[in-house]
Chains A and B, each alone.
Chain A
Amino acid sequence: MPRDTLTGSRIRERRVMAGLKQSELAKRADISASYLNLIEHNRRRIGGKLLVDIAHALGVEPGSLTEGAETALLATLREAASGGDMPEAEFVRVEEFAGRFPAWAALLADSQRKVETLQRSVEALTDRLTHDPHLAASLHEMLSTVTAIRSAASILAEPGDIEPEWQRRFNRNIYEDSARLADSSRSLAQYLAEADSEASETNAPQDELDGVFQKAGFHLPALEKPQADVDAVAADLGQDVSQAARWLLRRVLLRYRADAERMPLAACADTVAVSGNDPFAFAARFGCDLASAMRRLAHLPDDILPDPVGLAICDGSGVTTFRKPLPEFPLPRLGAGCVLWPLYRALARPMMVHTEVMEQSARAAARHQGIAISQPTGPARPGEDVLFESHMLIVPEPKRDVSELIRQVGLTCRICPQASCEARREPSIMVASAPRKL
C-alpha cells in the first residue's frame, strides 16, 4: 500500500495561504511548533484526531490535506525511476522525495518529459531516414554521382598515359557530374531544412493537441456562439503547432461545434442544475447519443459544472485520440492506458454501456467512476464495415463505504503496483519481486 507522505506539504501550503504563522497554527492545534515543523516537512506521519484538529484550525476539509494533485507528478517520477536501475528501497520513497524536495522533483519530472519527447523525435527521425522515399532517392542519386566522379578522377590521377580522347571524356564527365552533385546536394539541403522547420517542436501531434487544451482550457467560448467559425478558432488556437496537430485540432473543434449546436450552453446549465454531471440525462434531454453527451460534459465551463469531469477517447486500435485527464486520474501521455479501464473493454461490446467504479492503485485515495461506450464513428452504409471508437467519461466519486466492487486499475503497466494482474503486458518496476515468483 503506497503511503501518502505529502500531507505535511499540504498543511504547510494551506497555512501559508491562510497567512498563519507556524506557532499560531501549532497553538490552535495544541501541539508544539517544532512538532508541527516536523509534520510540515513530512518527517512525521500524521492522521486521526490531530489531522482533524489541524484541518479544523485551518478551516479546511481533512480530506483536502490527505489528497492532492500530485498524482501526475508522482507518475512521471516513477516513469523516470523505471528508466534507471533504482533500488526498491529508494523507489518506494518517491512520495517522500516529492514532498521534501518539491522543486527538485518538479525539475526531475520536467527532465523526464523532455527525455521522452527527445526519444520520440529520434524515433521519428530514424523512421524518416528509413522510410522517406524522397530522402532515399536523393541519397542514392548523390552517392551514384560521387561514385562516377571518384572513378573518373582516379583514372585521371593514376600514373601512366591515357589517350587524349579518354582524358577529355573523363574530364567532361567529372565536370558534368560535379554540376549534378551541386544540384542534388542543394535540393537535399533544402528538403532537410523544410522538413526540419515542419517538425519544429518535434512533439507528437497528439501531444501538441493536449498542449493547446492545457493552455486554452477545455471550454471554448468562441465555439458557443451561434455563428461560430470553426476554421477561425482552429487557426487562432493552432497558430503555434505543426500541420499534423492542426489537422487533429480542427477535427476535435468540428465535433465540439456540432455538440454545442445540439446542446446549447443555457440548456446545458438547466440540465446540470437538475441532474448534475449525468451523461444519460444529457442524452435523454437532447435526444443525442451518449458519446456526444460525454464530450459536451467534458467541455462545459466551471461556472456550469464546478467539479470537472475527465474524458478519454480511443479509436478501434486502442490509441488515445483525445484526453482530458483529471488531477487524480491521469491519462498516459504515451501509448495506451490500463487495459482494465471500461474504455477498452467497451470496444469488445459496442453500444453497451460499461460503468465501473475504479481506484487507480498508484493512488489509493482517489476513486472515480468510469462510464464507457463504444459507438460507430459514422453512419451505417449497406455492405460496408463500420469503425468504432470508445468514449470514457471519468467522474470523481466521493469515498464512502459501498457494497459494490471497486475495480483496482492502473495507469500504465510499467508503474502499476498490482502484484498479480492477468492483463499485465509489461513488468512493473513497482513489484520488483514478481518475476522471482514465476
Chain B
Amino acid sequence: MSKQVLLIEDEPNIIEAISFILSRDGWTVKTHSNGADAVDIVKQRKPDVVILDVMLPGKSGYDILRELRNDPDVNGLPVLMLTARGQTKDREIAERAGCDAFMTKPFSNADVLETVRALAAK
C-alpha cells in the first residue's frame, strides 16, 4: 500500500499542483482546506506525513500543530509547515510549536517532494 500524505491548505491551485507532484511520485494524497476541524481529520486519516499551511480559515496552522503535539495519538507525526512569510520569527514560532520541517512560499516542487520523502523515511 502506498504511503499517505495529508495536505492541509486552502489555495486550490497549490493543492492541485502539490497533489499532482506527490501522486506522480507514488503517494496517496488527501487534502483538506479548513483549519477548524483539521485536527480531527488528521486523527481520522492517520497519514504518514502532514503538510500544513500556516494561514488557514478557522484556525492557524501553529495552533493545529500545537494541538497535534499535545495529543498522544498523533504526537509523533511528521509535519511540514508552509508559510507565506519567510521571516525568522515565523520559523521560530513553527519550530517551537514542534514542526519537523519548514518551507516558505514560493517553494519549488522538487524541494517539497524531497522533504516529504525525507520525513516519511524518519
Contact = CB atoms under 8 A, between A and B. Distances in A.
B11 A151 contact: no
A148 B106 CA distance: 8
A161 to B, nearest CB: 11
A150 B21 contact: no
Contact of B17 (A136, A139, A151, A176): A151
A170 interface: yes
Given A139-B84, A155-B21, A166-B20, A147 B109 contact: no
Nearest to B89: A130
Contacts of A146: 105-106
* Most chain A Cβ neighbours within 10 Å, of B11, B17, B20: B17
Contacts, number: 57
A155 B14 contact: no
* Most chain A Cβ neighbours within 10 Å, of B14, B108, B109, B110: B14
B16 A139 contact: no
Interface string A157-190: 0000000001001100100110000000000000
**Size bracket of the B interface:** 10 to 19
B105 A144 contact: yes
Contacts of A173: 13, 16-17
A154 interface: yes
Contacts of B21: 151, 155
B20 A147 contact: no
A153 to B, nearest CB: 9
A151 B13 CA distance: 9
Contacts of A258: none
A253 interface: no
B55 interface: yes
A152 B84 CA distance: 17
Contact of A144 (B11, B16, B20): B11
A38 interface: no
Interface in A325-377: none
* Most chain B Cβ neighbours within 10 Å, of A143, A176, A177: A143
Interface string B92-122: 0000000000000111111000000000000
Contacts of B105: 143-144, 146-147
A177 B84 contact: no
B109 A143 contact: no
Contacts of B55: 140
A152 B18 CA distance: 9
Interface of B: 11, 13-14, 16-18, 20-21, 55, 84-85, 105-110
6 contacts: A143-B106, A147-B105, A148-B17, A151-B17, A154-B108, A177-B13
Closest A-B pairs by Cβ, 5 of them:
A151-B17, A148-B13, A143-B84, A147-B105, A147-B106
